[in-house]
Amino acid sequence: MARIQTENKKIDLRVLKTQKFLCNALFELLEEKPLDGITVQEICERAMINRMTFYKHYSDKYDLFGDCVKNIQREILSKVQKISPLETSVAAYCETLVENVIDFCDENRTILKKIALQEDVLASNILFNSMQENMERFLEKLSEGKHLYLPLPYSAAFITGGCVKLVTRWLSHNEDYSKEQLFADLKPFFRNYVKCDVLFKN
C-alpha cells in the first residue's frame, strides 16, 4: 500500500512539473505577443514538451491560461492568508492582498497590457471570471450572519469590475502614479471601505 502511495506521489509531482513548464512557457511567450497569436506548438517547443503530453493536461491554450491564472491567484491568496489571516482582520487582509496584487501586476505589466489593453477578449474573460470566483468566495466568508444588497455573483462582479478597471488604467498611466503612491492611497480607502460595510444590509 505504501508503495502505491509513493508511486502516485511521484506521478503527481511529474504532472505538476509538466504543468509548471507549460505555464512558464506560456508566460514567456505572452511577453512577446498576445494570447490569440500564440499556438500550442509554440508553447510545447518553448516548454520542450510534446503536443501529446500537452493535450493530456489541457484542451487548448485557453484552458492552460486559465489554469495558470488560478495557480497564481492561489499562490497570492495563500501568501496573504499567512501574513494577514482574514479571520484576524478583514482590513489588514485586504491591504495585504492589494499590495501583493499590485506587486504582481507591476512585475507582469507587459503580459497584463497585452491581455487588458489589446482587447484579447477570451483572455480578459478568463482573467475576470477567475477573479470573480475568488471574490465570491471572499464575500461569502464576509457575509456570514449578514445580508448582501445584491445577490452574491452581482456583488462580486461589481467589485471585480472596479478593481480590473483601476489596475488597467494604472498599467497604462503609471508614469504619473507610482506603485508606492497607488498602494498608499488604496490602503486607507480599503480600511474605510471595509469599516463602512457598504455591501451589506443592516
Q: Calculate ∠ Cα 101-171-26, nearest 5°.
A: 70
pTM equals: 0.77
State the Cα torsion 131-96-21-62 to the nearest 10°: 10
| Mean pLDDT, the chain, whole residue set | 83
Asked if 131 and 66 touch (Cβ cutoff 8 Å), the reply is no
The per-residue pLDDT for 2 is: 37
pLDDT tens-digit series, residues 84-143: 888 888 888 888 888 888 888 888 888 887 776 656 678 888 888 888 898 888 888 887
Containing 200, the helix (H) or strand (E) segment is strand 200-201
Residue in 105, 95, 199 with CA at minimum distance from that of residue 150: 199
**Rounded Cα gap, residues 116 and 167, in angstroms:** 9
Asked if the 2-201 domain carries CATH number 1.10.357.10, the reply is yes
What separation, in Å, do the N-terminal and C-terminal C-alpha atoms of the chain show?
Answer: 55
What does the domain layout of the chain look like in residue ranges? Answer: 2-201
Asked if 162 and 73 touch (Cβ cutoff 8 Å), the reply is no
The share of the chain scoring above pLDDT 90, in percent, equals 21
